[in-house]
Structure 1
Amino acid sequence: MSDLPRKNGWTIAEHAGDTTPDPTQRLLNHAVRDNDQAMTLVRGFVVEHLADQPLVVAALDEAGQEKTGDATVGVQRQYIGCVGRIANGVNTAYCCYATPRGHALVGARIYVLADQMADPDRRTACGIDAEVGFRTKPQLAMDICRDMVAYHTMPPWVAGDEAYVRSGALRSFLEDNRIGYVMRVGCAFHVTVRPGGGSARAEDVLTRHVATDAWQVRSVTGSKGERAYAWAWIATTNPRHFLLIHQHLRTGKLAYHYCHVPEGRPVTLMTLVRVACLRWPVEEGFEFGKDHFGLDHSQVRLYTALSRHIVLTLAALAVCAVTAAQARTQTPAPILPTTPDQQPPDDPGLIALTVAEVKRLFMLVTHRVLPQAHHLHWIWWRRRHQARARWFHHRARIRRQITQT
């Protein structure tokens, strides 16, 4: 929770007042603790405080950490999303418990390549236990979901990108457990929309079967306000599966989603739209975890140590995310413009407490950071400044909408 620029064994030990990093390293490498059970406790804490929302989604995605050497478990040249290219690093599959009020990362599994798993010397060097076998990224995501089902913490919906929808095993697991999903797919994804007509690419389905008047504009509240897109949904030959398409109103850019609705569960277009849009909080979870809690700061090499570092980070993130979500319910409605020529108010109010500000308040209280009045002033100033920026952002959007129409 500290504001250390880097959070690894050495820096945390110094910040904690230890004379050597041995206690911190022991916590990660040798202390007797059940890492899976720790993750279960973190997940239970988040679910306890956020499960009362009208819509809850398990958002699946992966995040990477760049590494310079080759000794860390799972490291090799592979696509690392945070840098947007192939680089030397480690990837981890995550699950975010996402609701309209708040969200937190509640599951993580490290991806270790098959050739490293098959090499006994490599396994020993990386501290990988014998019961840990090779799992693809969709299989790791399925393992996380299986744990959530076993502990009755699984949301009724799952969202993810193309890497996960391609897995028939993952889709079957979700369908067998009556879990609906809205998964992003590419334009080349095949679906069958007419009996006996054969499968067709998603982009061809759009061209042949979506009339001009089939589009419906729907708006969903995002981190920067309302986001409106044109949406269309097409039934397939399977009555529980749909192809959902959204189009950017200004650029015309298209995106496709493959959807499953469990039998007996009523669904509307707006429900699928909201599920699709709750895939993005997992990206915010990565941002918060890395920027404020050191999710990608570890300098450990062993499988157990990296897993434990991740769980401790997710625990800290969960505390702040849940607190921010609870504080949001007590925050007055934002002051926003209603006309394009409206002048800004003298007092724009304050934005709701963010995860970052909750972390700073935690440090003020627990570490008695002095002078407290100075730090509280800055927390207040940032929230007021962001509220003013939000006001101007909304006014600019109103002007842009009028210009476009």
Structure 2
Amino acid sequence: MGHLFARPEPREVFADLVEGLLSDLGRKNGWTMADRAGHATPHRIQKFLGEASWDADALLSEVQDYIDTRLGDEQATLVLDDTQVIKKGTRSVGVAHQHCGSTGDVRNCQVMVMLTYAAEAGHTFYDRRLYLPAAWAGDLPRRRDAGVPEEVGFATKPGLGIAMLQAALARKVPFAWVAADADYGKDPALRAFLHAHAVSYVLAVPVTLPLAGPPGKPRQPAVTCAGDLPHYAAGRDQWERRSQGEGSKGQRYYDWTWFEVALPGQDPAEGFAHHLLIRRSTAKKQHAGGRIDFEYAYFLVHHRGEAALPEAVRRAGVRWKIEENNETAKQITGLGHYQVRRWNSWHRHVTCSMLALAFLTVQRAHHPEPEPDAVPHETPEQADEAGKARQPEEGSPCR
């Protein structure tokens, strides 16, 4: 990718930086990667990220071309989610007291909205957007200090997701479905965008999402509908036990059912239908207040007529691939290890981290680790023969 840089100096530092992100360093910031590369100070890496003349979006396009070529799959899933990086102070671009998913509370952090490309061969980040809180968007002095472009205004996290999906469609990225959690599934603008472009999706939704259904039942809001549907399904024995995918402890099995529903004010695309997919725990659990009952989760599915429940369940499970990317990128390719404050340098570091993750994903896809050699099972006769072969010859020293 040396053609992205007009001079040899930034090309050399780029190589040092990416090698550092791919290395086994524990922390991957300017100081540690400079030391690994033999630089006397982190100045060259800091200048490369902050002042050198190169375009992070041009690098992103190269990363996307690489993913399209090496992992491209017409049946892939695009997955939306956001992740946070805890930061101190108030000057780092976009930093604010806001919800931090990794800790489950409000922290001083930056929020990045990410798009993962999940194919059969592997999954990796495909695009990124930095979330700029409303307080930042309207603070001209702070925007100017952080180098935020004038054309960048406030956008919701789902709005940033729409921008990335729009860019993916413009690139004609091969994919079949979109998946996201309830923070995105409840957003009507995101759903409307996917309907307008006839995109299949499985979006987690809150129990309060207004729906109408199931067939044969009075039209009612989802807060009641969601309460009725599990019992309605159970009475008709409509649950199927299926795995949502493999987790750290093996296959994640749940009971599933679905019904066609209507989304008031938002019709599906032509030739598509809406289903409410319901996930139920396989055993009852104790809830707050001592109540013992099943746990439920709800997904809105927008699909062509030929889609079936097993496919919807599988796509719902693919959403966890972005969680794996978040964890891997933070632990291995330095996604959150940056020590930069400005808009350009943030995008440069994150895009380089995405390149490193994409490279590792492609290498693993095309050069998988060999399976451990299986230990052959010996017959008693083979064991006897092997034992005789190991016996020392008469007169020879025992070993």
Provide TM-score, normalisation by structure 1.
Answer: 0.77
Task: Name the CA distance, whole Å, in 2 between partners of 1:13 and 1:31.
Answer: 16
Q: 1:16 aligns with which of 37, 58, 78?
A: 37
Deviations 1:224-282 (A, max 9, x none): 543322110010136611100111213432111011114xx520111111110000010
1:78–1:88 contact (8 Å) kept in structure 2: yes
Q: Kindly indicate whether residue 270 of structure 2 is the aligned counterpart of residue 245 of structure 1.
A: no
Q: Which residue of 2 aligns with 1:290?
A: 330
Q: Kindly indicate whether residue 274 of structure 2 is the aligned counterpart of residue 254 of structure 1.
A: no
Q: Deviation of residue 210 (structure 1)?
A: 2.1
Task: Name the CA distance, whole Å, in 2 between partners of 1:73 and 1:346.
Answer: 59
Give SS of 1:214's match. Answer: coil
Q: 1:6 aligns with which of 12, 27, 32?
A: 27
Percent identity for Structure 1 against Structure 2: 32
2:202–2:299 contact (8 Å) kept in structure 1: yes
The total of aligned residue pairs comes to: 334
Greater alpha carbon shift after TM alignment, 213-222 vs 176-185: 213-222
CA RMSD of aligned residues (A): 2.2
Residues 101 and 69 of structure 1: CA distance in aligned 2, closer, same or farther (over 3 Å)? same
Q: Which residue of 1 aligns with 2:72?
A: 51
Q: Kindly indicate whether residue 258 of structure 2 is the aligned counterpart of residue 233 of structure 1.
A: yes
Task: Name the CA distance, whole Å, in 2 between partners of 1:191 and 1:220.
Answer: 24
Provide TM-score, normalisation by structure 2.
Answer: 0.78
Letter in 1 for 2:175: P
Residues 91 and 346 of structure 1: CA distance in aligned 2, closer, same or farther (over 3 Å)? farther
Give SS of 2:338's match. Answer: coil
Residues 257 and 130 of structure 1: CA distance in aligned 2, closer, same or farther (over 3 Å)? same
Task: Name the CA distance, whole Å, in 2 between partners of 1:39 and 1:61.
Answer: 18
Residues 243 and 333 of structure 1: CA distance in aligned 2, closer, same or farther (over 3 Å)? farther
Task: Name the CA distance, whole Å, in 2 between partners of 1:86 and 1:146.
Answer: 30
Task: Name the CA distance, whole Å, in 2 between partners of 1:106 and 1:311.
Answer: 10
Task: Name the CA distance, whole Å, in 2 between partners of 1:221 and 1:199.
Answer: 31
Q: Which residue of 1 aligns with 2:221?
A: 199
Residues 214 and 333 of structure 1: CA distance in aligned 2, closer, same or farther (over 3 Å)? farther
Q: Which residue of 1 aligns with 2:208?
A: 188
Q: Which residue of 1 aligns with 2:170?
A: 150
1:44–1:153 contact (8 Å) kept in structure 2: no
Task: Name the CA distance, whole Å, in 2 between partners of 1:65 and 1:139.
Answer: 20
Task: Name the CA distance, whole Å, in 1 between partners of 2:80 and 2:58.
Answer: 20
1:57–1:155 contact (8 Å) kept in structure 2: yes
Q: Which residue of 1 aligns with 2:239?
A: 215
2:73–2:120 contact (8 Å) kept in structure 1: no
Q: Superposed, which structure 2 residues align to 1:383-394 within 5 Å?
A: none
Q: 1:39 aligns with which of 34, 40, 60?
A: 60
Q: Superposed, which structure 2 residues align to 1:78-89 within 5 Å?
A: 78-89=98-109
Q: Deviation of residue 146 (structure 1)?
A: 1.0
Q: Deviation of residue 188 (structure 1)?
A: 2.2
Task: Name the CA distance, whole Å, in 1 between partners of 2:31 and 2:315.
Answer: 41
Give SS of 1:149's match. Answer: helix
Q: Deviation of residue 334 (structure 1)?
A: 10
Q: Deviation of residue 332 (structure 1)?
A: 4.9
If you compute each CA radius of gyration, which structure gives the higher value, 1 or 2? 2
Unaligned runs of 5+ in 1: 336-344, 348-405
Q: 1:161 aligns with which of 181, 187, 191?
A: 181
1:58–1:154 contact (8 Å) kept in structure 2: no
Give SS of 1:116's match. Answer: helix
Greater alpha carbon shift after TM alignment, 189-198 vs 123-132: 189-198
Q: Which residue of 2 aligns with 1:323?
A: 363
